[in-house]
A and B are shown apart, each in its own frame.
Chain A
Amino acid sequence: MPETAPHTTALDITGWTCPAPLRDRPRVVMGHGGGGALSAELVQHLFAPAFGGEVLAQLGDSAAVTLGGVRLAFSTDSYVVRPLFFPGGGIGDLAVNGTVNDLAMSGARAAYLSCGFILEEGVEMSVVARVAEALGAAARAAGVEVATGDTKVVEAGHGDGVYINTAGIGLIPAGVDLRPQRVVPGDVVIVSGEIGLHGVAILSVRDGLEFGVDIESDCAALGGLVQAMLAVTPDLHVLRDPTRGGLAASLNEIAAASGTGVVIQEGRVPVPAAVGNACAILGLDPLYVANEGKLVAFVPREHADAVLDAMRAHPLGRHAAVIGEAVADHPGMVVARTGLGGTRVVDLPIGEQLPRIC
């Protein structure tokens, strides 16, 4: 050992401990709405036991129910995005496309939507009108009718201007049965296009983080793309739209519910350069960034090429790519093969992704 310099002391690790106790969460924190492990825990351990019901236990993007002999998909979602308008969309079209897409993940074409507005006292009427017009236009483009609605106003300071809840129903075609339990090892994993656009577009205009990237949200209704895929084969195994929690959360949900493992080739996941660069600067992982116009599909291997061709022939699927497969190894776990040839686990996010310090 060299001689001790006067300005240092030798460290003795005997008895060292790290602080920080285990915690519980007596109050709701933002992560409970982040689409990750905290959200799942809230639903599975608080809401589902309180509500009961077999349909809810499916925990899919939408519920598949049979009513009067007809198979329906039924879904609801609430939209609390800030800012209300962002590159490539706004809360109005988001409120339509989000629910339409949840229905589409059951194979259903959305038929009717409800629309509940919660407005904050003082918000400019021109803003409400702009949101409503965008919502109507998005509904017409998706071929869905807003059939019922509701409006409430909360006191100033109790909201972010405009919150919207939409619910929707649609018919599930005969022979279509999309659920993670149908996934088997060998299924091919296909993503419909470039990921991370919505999340980065929102970040790029968020207060305090404005950065000049030419990037727009991918907000879009996926009903048409799903119908094009089902036209090739009704035997798709599962579809998910990777919104909050990104592609990583959707793949983990499918792996957990199906009891299979998932392997993806990281280099095959389509990540636009602008998304990759923004994520690199902020310390985020594109796999965890939200999308609003993408889907991930688990398809039987024998149908994979035909389904991929059909997706690429559709405007919303032209960048579709095979990114991996379901495997019998490591059931319930998602693993990525890295560009350099290593491997890593792609875990369910805990809450929200947080930009790193440096």
Chain B
Amino acid sequence: MKYIDEFQNPELARRLLDDIHATVTRPWALMEVCGGQTHTIIRHGIDQLLPEQVELIHGPGCPVCVTPLEVIDKALEIASRPDVVFCSFGDMLRVPGTGRDLFQVRSEGGDVRVVYSPLDALRIAQENPGREVVFFGIGFETTAPPNAMTVYQARKLGIRNFSLLVSHVRVPPAIEAIMRSPSCRVQGFLAAGHVCSVMGMGEYPELAARHRVPIVVTGFEPLDILEGVRRAVRQLERGEHTVDNAYARAVRPEGNPAALAMLEDVFEVTDRAWRGIGVIPDSGWRLSSRYREYDAEHRFSVTGINTLEPAECRSGEVLQGLLKPHECEAFGTLCTPRSPLGATMVSSEGACAAYYLYRRLELTPARTAVSPEASPVA
């Protein structure tokens, strides 16, 4: 656990920053793909310390943010059923569906439980054979393997009252889609290290070559981010565009074979809608036909969902890196973590929430400060 301190060392950070400052000669726009990286950048004020020429654009890598409204509404519908125990990771409970969230379903009598592992949900199913237990399986390549493992275990143990509401998404097709957007400004990527620790790096060389962008596999501590920026900027300044692993302590090029085998067995690739963005081909997983009976959507045949989307929210553009959170007119006024318009303001990894929580001082002083005359300053 010494690792955490070491990767937040201010002196080492200063050296990396000096190197980046010395390297940069032109403006560059880098996208950090993962919401966890966004969180670290904003929380530690890293973007304030980089040269002005280096712009960090926040990518779509927050699993909570990109889960489609329709799936949230399906979760709310299933969780409301009296025979269901609905299990979820904590941060999904506050994400608004159409008109309410899982916290409200719970306050209305729904049995919604926060679990910390999908295997906890499976245990609840074993202990409650007379009830249907549903686990909300969302997230990127990081959470998909344990969820796959849970379904595998359920079948192996003959547990029939368990199912998965699946909305898993894959990163490389999202990078592809971002690069194909006509208004894309991204010149280099900080790829999500934990995604690569599962999947390996095999999908990236073709992406880097096709779009002529450097892709640097990057971790999540402050020094990881700075090292990722340093390597990406070096490549850009030299006109290079290769895949570089700056997270070698966790990522092997081949990934995690056991996790990959589990994914292969339980899931199959499918088109998937991303909240605020739309459908990206081949960008998701669903349960394969062999595991159909464990698919909550199939089991509960949730239909007739009418989603309702507010027109003011521009988080689709934020997720694409086309708009900074504070450039949205609703930011900090109509839209706050207390009453969010969109999921990017709800999730702690969402770019809008990160800006609101950590950046309000310089972004919206007029909205938040009271006049000096009003304060009892001596």
Say whether, besides A341-B10, A345-B361, A354-B93, A2 and B210 are in contact (CB < 8 Å). Answer: yes
Residues of A near B313 (CB, < 8 A) are 17-20
Closest chain A residue, CB of each to CB of B1: A277
How many chain B residues touch the partner (CB < 8 A)? Answer: 109
Q: Which listed residue (A21, A259, A344, A350) contacts B359, Cβ 8 A?
A: A344
With contact pairs A21-B308, A29-B106 given, residues A358 and B361 touching in the complex (Cβ less than 8 Å): no
Q: How far is the CA of A208 from the CA of B114 in the complex (A)?
A: 9
- By beta carbon, the residue of chain B nearest A207 is B120
User: Which of A1, A181, A277, A330 interacts with B180 by CB under 8 Å?
Assistant: A1
Q: Specify the chain B residue showing the minimal Cβ separation from A266.
A: B44
Interface size, chain A (Cβ < 8 Å): 63
Task: Assess the A16–B316 pair: CB atoms within 8 A.
Answer: yes
Asked if B320 and A13 make an inter-chain contact with CB atoms under 8 angstroms apart, the answer reads: yes
Tell me, rounded to whole Å, the shortest Cβ–Cβ distance linking A344 to chain B.
4
Contact A339 B334 (CB under 8 A): no
Inside 8 A of A208's CB, which chain B residues have their CB? 114-117, 120
B63–A357 CB distance below 8 A: yes
Are B377 and A209 neighbours in the complex by a CB distance under 8 Å? no
Q: Would A17 and B309 count as touching, CB distance under 8 A?
A: yes
Report whether A16 and B278 are in contact in the complex, using a CB–CB cutoff of 8 Å: yes
Contact A259 B311 (CB under 8 A): no
Complex CA–CA separation, A7 to B207 (angstroms): 13
CB of A158, distance to nearest CB on chain B (Å):
14
Residues of A within 8 A of B98 (CB): 19, 21
Cβ-defined contact, A8 with B281, below 8 A: yes
Q: Name the contact of A31 in the complex, choosing from B103, B139, B372 (C-beta under 8 A).
A: B103
* Distance (whole angstroms) from the CB of A331 to the closest CB of chain B: 5
With A5-B210, A276-B4, A338-B43 as known contacts, state yes or no: A11 contacts B320, CB within 8 Å.
yes
Contact of A350 among B10, B337, B344, B377 (CB under 8 A): B337
Which stretch (B76-84, B244-252, B362-370) binds chain A?
B362-370
Q: Which residues of B contact A31 (CB under 8 A)?
A: 103
CB–CB A19/B372 < 8 A: no
CB distance from B40 to the nearest CB of A (A): 10
Residues of B contacting A259 in the complex (Cβ-Cβ under 8 angstroms) = 370, 374-377
Give the residues in chain A near B96, CB-CB below 8 Å: 19-21, 23
Q: Is B205 an interface residue (CB 8 A)?
A: no
**Cβ–Cβ < 8 Å partners of A328 in chain B:** 372, 375, 377
Q: What chain B residues lie within 8 Å of A341 (beta carbons)?
A: 10, 45, 49
16 A-B pairs besides A10-B180, A19-B72 with CB distance below 8 A are: A2-B179, A2-B212, A13-B181, A16-B276, A18-B343, A21-B96, A22-B310, A259-B374, A330-B368, A331-B372, A339-B8, A340-B46, A341-B10, A343-B45, A344-B43, A345-B361
Q: Write the residues of chain B forming the contact surface with A, with a CB cutoff of 8 angstroms.
A: 1, 4-5, 8, 10, 13, 36, 42-49, 63-64, 68-69, 72, 89-101, 103-104, 106-108, 114-117, 120, 138-140, 142-143, 173, 176-183, 194, 210-212, 222, 275-278, 280-282, 307-311, 313-317, 320, 322, 334, 337-344, 346, 348-349, 356-361, 365, 368-370, 372, 374-378
